[in-house]
Amino acid sequence: MSRRKRLSVVATTALVAAFPLFPIFADDAPPTKAPATLGSPNTPPTASQDEIYDAAAAFADFDVSLFEIPDGESGEVYRKRVADIQNEWSRCVFAYRERQREAARERGEKADKIDPSAVMLDAPLGTLARGVNGAFVAAPADSVPARRAVALADLYGRLADASELPLEVRGQYYKDWLRAASAPLRDKSPQEQRDFYAKLLADEKAKSPIDLGRVLYLNGQLALLETFSPPLEIKLPKVDRADVEKLLDVPEGESSEFYLKRKAELTSAAYSFARGPEKDEELAKRLDEALRTVSDLHSAALKAEAVAFDRDAVKRLFDVPPGESAAFYLERCQETAEVWKRVSKLSQYQEGRDLGRLEVRLRTETLPEIDKRLAYADDLEPFERFQRLKNWLRSRDVAALQSALEAEIVRDETSEIDALREPYVRWALLQKRVETVATEARKALPKEERNSYGAVNFPELSPEIQAELASLADDIAECADDGAQPWTLGGSWAKTAAGFAAHIAREIHLEAAAPIYKEIYAALADAENETEQAVCRELKRKINEAEFLGSAFEVPGRDLDGNPIDWKRFRGAPVLLVAGGVDATYAPGHDRDFLPKCVDAGLQIVRYCGDLESARRLAQRDLEEAEQFKRFQSKGLEAFVGATSIAGYVVPLENRGPGDWPYEHGIVWLSFAVLFDADGRVLATSPRLLHQNNAPEIADELSRLFPDASSAERK
C-alpha cells in the first residue's frame, strides 16, 4: 500500500468516528447565566435599548429562515447554508454602513465617518460592540447577531462531522466550531475556561479510534491557558498585627526558601497594615526597608547555594540507561526537570559558568534523551509516545532527523497513532532542512539586507546551497499531494509544502523559491481535493509574481475622464502601484511621515481602483480634504487624476480583479503593491523594503536602489 493510501486509511479511520452534537448545543447543556448589569464582574453588560434598536434596524429584512437548520443533510448542503447566512449578513452590513455614511455626509462630517454603533456588526459571534471603544456586550437572545452565532456554531459542528468532506476541511470546521463554542467563555473565570477545554480533551481521548488532530489541538489550547491565564487567586500568608514586629527582624544566614517565605509574609503585612485605608507611615517605611533587606539576603543565599551545590549529583542524571520501563523514564524525567529548574535558577547567581553548562546539557541532552526513550517505550500509551516523539524531534538536527526517519520506516506500527509517526518525522526533517538552508543562504546577504523579510535583490548562492534547494524542491513536491496531516487540525501536505516554499521566499528571495513553487504546482496540477486546488491557485499567483520580477509591464487603465494612462510619463523615477487607499496610520512603524518621506525621495505613488465609480467616489472623498492635499502638492506631488490626500493618483483598472495580479497575502499596511524601477521594470511585489517593523529612511533606500536617478529626473 502506498504511503498516501495508508495515510488516507489511517486518517479516515481516526476522524470518521461519529460524535453527537457538540456539548454546548446538547439538550442537557447547562443554562446560561442571566446577563448582569453594566460593570458586573465576569459577565458582559447587556446592550442598551438604543443599541438593540440599531441592531434590529440593521437586520430588519434579514432572512431569519436561514437559522432553521435541517437534520440529516449532506455536508455540501450545510456549507451552502453557511455561505447563505454570511452573504445575507454582509448584505445587511453593507446597507447599514451606507446609511451611516450618508447620514454622516448630511451632518457635514467626513464621508468615511461612521456612527460608533456601526462597529457592533464586526463584534465576535453573539455579541455587539458598545461605542467607539468597542467593548463587547451580550446580544439579546432573540436578535439576529445572537441567532446567527447559534446557527453558525451548529452548522460548524455538523460540518466537522461530515465524513464526505476532506479531512483538512473537517478539521478547519472543528476549529470554527471551537471558536464559536468558546465565545461565551470570555466572561468566565480562568478555571472555567480550563475546565471547558479539559472536558473536551477528555472526551476526545476517550474515543476509539482517537482523533489525534483534535487531541493535539485541544491539548495546545489548554497549555496556552495554563501558561498565560492569570492565577485564580494570589494567596499571601495571613499575618496578625502582633506578628509584624517579629517579621521585621530578619536573621542572616538562612536558606533562600526561608527568605522567599519571609518576603511573602512581609508583603502580606504591607498590604494589610501599611497600605490600607488606615495607613501607618512609620510601619510602611519599616516594612519597605525589611523587604529590601530580605531581597538582598535572598540573593546572597542563592549565591552561597550556587557555590555549595553538588555538581556530581547532577552528572549522574546524564546517564539515561536503555531498556528500562516507561515508569522508570517518567520518574527520571520528573527528577531531571526539577534539578534542571534548580540549576537554571542558581546559574544566574554564580560567578563561574559551570552551572550554566550543566543547565544547557540537562536541557539539550538529558531531557531530549529521556523523551527519545519514552517515544519508543512500547509500554507507554500511543498518544503519549507521539507527544514524546514530538518533544524529542524539536531539538534534533538534520542528521539526527534523517536517522529517526530511517528508524520509523522499518518500525512496526502498533496503533493508528503510531502509523502517523513516519510522516510526522518526514515533516520535521523537511522543516529543519528548509530552516537550515535559509540560515546558510542569509549569510551571503549584505548586512543591511539581513532583515526578517529577506533580501531585496537575489543573492549569489553557493553551489552547495543551490544543490540543496534543488533537492528540497523535489522532496517537498513529492510530499505535496500526500493529503491531510492528521496530527494538524485542518492541515494538509499541500499547505505545508507551500509554506516551506514561502519560508524560502521570505528568508532568501522569491527567485530562490520560484523553482519550489513550480515543482509543487506540477505535483498538484491534477488535484481534485478542494484544499489542494486552492493551494494551486495561490501557487499560480506566486509563480506569476516571480516571473514578473525584472519584466517590463504596463498596467492597463484609464483616468477619470476615460483616457488611457500613459505610463511613459512616469519614467525616470520609481513608481509604487497600490490598491485602493494607503493610510499613513498603517505605515511601517506607524510612521505618519512615511508617505511624505516617499514623496521627498522622489517615489511616485499610484493608486488604482477596480472600477470607475469607486475611483470617482474615492477621488471625491480626497478632494474634500483640501488642506492635506495642498501639503502633498507642496512636497512636489502632482495630482494626475483627481486630488488625493494619501497617494498620488487614482487609476481605475480595466477588466482585472485581484486574482489576476501577482500579489502576496499578509501585507499589513498595503493590501497589494507593485514597485517599478525608473525604467518601468517590476522590481518587487508587496515590496519588502517598505514592509518592516521599523521603516528605514526611504530616501536612503531609494538612493541605494536607484543611484542613477537624479533628483531632477525624479521630479
Give me the average pLDDT of each 10-residue run along the chain (715 residues): 38 30 33 28 44 66 93 94 91 78 70 50 62 61 85 94 91 93 80 92 88 93 79 65 86 92 88 72 88 93 93 91 95 95 92 89 95 94 94 93 94 88 96 94 74 64 93 95 92 95 88 93 91 89 75 69 74 71 43 55 66 65 52 45 37 45 37 70 58 37 42 31
C-alpha count within 13 angstroms, C-beta hemisphere, residue 589: 14
Q: Strands 673-676 and 575-579, how do they pair?
A: antiparallel
E strand spans, 522-636: 575-579, 604-609
pLDDT score, position 337: 95
Q: What's the whole-model pTM score? A: 0.72
User: Distance between CA atoms of 302 and 300, rounded to whole angstroms?
Assistant: 5
- What's the CATH code, domain 567-714? 3.40.30
User: Distance between CA atoms of 408 and 708, rounded to whole angstroms?
Assistant: 58
Determine how many CB atoms are found less than 10 A away from the CB of residue 338: 10
Amino acid letter at 26? A
pLDDT score, position 80: 95
User: Distance between CA atoms of 448 and 469, rounded to whole angstroms?
Assistant: 24
Segments making up each domain of the chain, as ranges: 3-186, 241-308, 431-541, 567-714
**DSSP code at position 575:** E
pLDDT score, position 68: 94
Phi, psi at 681, each rounded to 5°: -90, 145
Helix, strand, or coil here: 618?
A: helix
CA 21 to chain centre: 29
pLDDT score, position 571: 80
On whether the CB atoms of residues 95 and 88 are closer than 8 A, the answer is no
pLDDT score, position 467: 95
- Beta partners for residue 577, in sequence order: 606, 674
- Beta partners for residue 605, in sequence order: 576
